[in-house]
Amino acid sequence: MGYPEDALAPDEELVLHRHPHWKMLLVPGLVFVVASAVCGFALGLVQRNLTGAAATTVTVVVLVVWGALVFWRSVVPLLRWLTTHFIVTDRRVLVREGLVTHTGIDIPVARVSNVQFRHGLIDRMLRTGTLVIVAASDDPLEFDDIPDVERVHSLLYRQVMDAGDARW
């Protein structure tokens, strides 16, 4: 049994599991491509203009700078994306984030009083947006970059209505 199934109660049913929208990987991907191109160009210059120990030293420095930049600006955002989960079950909404330090939010569906979404022009074109969940007596919680946010909004709204019907 994989994640998120192992986070569910024995009789809890998974309705939806999403990672954030892929658009949050565009800048890290661009950083990787540009950093790799600049690194390759710099290594070509080193090979053409330097020899011996100087060439080795500059090559190592260029590769270390490239590795640090790619790790910090590409690998870390990719890991953040992979370890962020937005989950809807028949009983609750779960958000889990983090690789080293885990954080989580559980909202019982029965306590949700309002579900909203918003997205601008670019978000509509990419079919993503921000989901806003208002639970009883709490501040609204905003979840950015939810893929297919209108569908998720509608599905969550139905779950809330079903939970309300079950209480009566």
Domain of 102: which CATH number?
2.30.29.30
Residue 75 carries which side chain, given as an amino acid letter?
Answer: V
Q: Is residue 76 located within the same domain as residue 113?
A: no
6 assigned to some structural domain: no
β pairing state of 103-108 and 112-118: unpaired
User: How far apart, in whole angstroms, are the C-alpha atoms of residue 66 and residue 32?
Assistant: 9
Phi/psi class of residue 52: alpha, beta or left (left: φ > 0; alpha: ψ in -120 to 50)? left
How buried is residue 133: exposed, middle or buried, by Cβ count under 10 Å (0-12/13-18/19+)? Answer: buried
What pLDDT, on a 0 to 100 scale, did the predictor assign at position 2? 60
Q: Is residue 90 located within the same domain as residue 38?
A: no
Q: What is the mean pLDDT of each run of 10 residues along the chain (168 residues)?
A: 74 92 96 97 94 93 97 96 93 90 90 92 95 86 94 92 68
Report how many helices (DSSP H) and strands (DSSP E) the chain contains, helices first.
Answer: 5, 7
Using alpha carbons only, give the angle 135, 124, 112 rounded to the nearest 5 degrees: 10
What pLDDT, on a 0 to 100 scale, did the predictor assign at position 8? 83
What pLDDT, on a 0 to 100 scale, did the predictor assign at position 139? 84
76: enclosing H helix or E strand: helix 76-82
> Could you give the number of structural domains in the chain?
2
Q: Is residue 100 located within the same domain as residue 160?
A: yes
Q: Is residue 68 located within the same domain as residue 118?
A: no
In a 13 Å sphere around the CA of 72, the CA atoms on its Cβ side amount to: 7
99 assigned to some structural domain: yes
Q: Is residue 101 located within the same domain as residue 148?
A: yes
Q: Is residue 75 located within the same domain as residue 107?
A: no
Q: Is residue 53 located within the same domain as residue 105?
A: no
59 assigned to some structural domain: yes
45 assigned to some structural domain: yes
Q: Is residue 91 located within the same domain as residue 161?
A: yes
For residue 129, the cross-strand partners are: 146
Q: Is residue 147 located within the same domain as residue 96?
A: yes
For residue 142, the cross-strand partners are: 132
31 assigned to some structural domain: yes
148 assigned to some structural domain: yes
**Sequence-separated (6 or more) residues with CB below 8 Å from residue 118:** 129, 130, 132
Q: Is residue 96 located within the same domain as residue 61?
A: no
What pLDDT, on a 0 to 100 scale, did the predictor assign at position 1? 45
Q: Is residue 126 located within the same domain as residue 89?
A: yes
What residues make up the domain containing 30?
26-80
